[in-house]
Chain A
């Protein structure tokens, strides 16, 4: 096997494992979301928000309590490294409620599909790599495999969206809070859609290449 291909395969395996671990065990407790980096946006914010908020409007951190029973600060939190008090704002609140059987079934179905797809993709990738190592690159089977990976990623994206939508409908039917609305669809997993479309595009490019190769092979 090509050395570069070997390195890419190893990197892919490590990244894939890390992503799976992240989703399954939620090992990463803190996520950093870069927002409002654009000066233009900051300038727009200045007009709408008070001056005190300008300082911390550059980065937004989501924090999780170290203990399960831990509570969230509502006004400020101390940075133990500098001793400085940092203002906080609660922009999302999680509420635990007892649900019926339907959301559980939906969750199980979505989870099963997710497990199936997360298993299906590495199996297909392994088959593609094995095929490439045998010097069979321009093959219709490989193109179909790449296309199937793309379709499964896109299906996964829409299943998650559908699940969130149905879940939010079910929740809105069951519960209501005065002064609050239950958040509906959160488009978090856009990377699935992006990689799915990229896979489909790659498959189409390979298909055209295969056609060109066939023409080249059959030119006597």
Chain B
């Protein structure tokens, strides 16, 4: 998929664990893991908003477009 999720990078930068983040943004660790590993098919604006708020970043820091060609 050409949309890359850089959540793991942002989490490493902010030095926050998956469980801590899941507690703060009110998402289950399993779902956050799906998002982190790039298995997610879509992301809700509310989830993105919560993540950006918690990680103090922009949506572009979490999501990245890579041209396959």
Q: Do A and B bind each other?
A: yes
Give min CB distance, B34 to chain A, whole Å: 6
Please count how many residues in chain B sit with their CB below 8 Å of the partner chain's CB atoms.
12
- Chain B residues near A220 (CB-CB < 8 A): 27, 31-32, 34-35, 40, 42-44, 47
- Chain A residues near B42 (CB-CB < 8 A): 215, 218-220
- Chain B residues near A214 (CB-CB < 8 A): 41
Residue of B nearest to A217 (CB): B41
Interchain CA distance A220-B47 in the complex, whole Å: 7
Chain A 187-220 near chain B by CB (<8 Å), digits 1 or 0 = 0000000000000000000000000001100111
B24 CB–A CB distance under 8 Å: no
| Pairwise interchain contact A218-B44, C-beta atoms closer than 8 A | no
Interchain CA distance A155-B39 in the complex, whole Å: 39
- Chain B residues near A218 (CB-CB < 8 A): 34, 39-42
Chain B 16-34 near chain A by CB (<8 Å), digits 1 or 0 = 0000000000010001101
A residues with CB within 8 A of B: 214-215, 218-220
23 residue pairs of the A-B complex, CB under 8 angstroms, read A214-B41, A215-B41, A215-B42, A218-B34, A218-B39, A218-B40, A218-B41, A218-B42, A219-B40, A219-B41, A219-B42, A219-B43, A219-B44, A220-B27, A220-B31, A220-B32, A220-B34, A220-B35, A220-B40, A220-B42, A220-B43, A220-B44, A220-B47
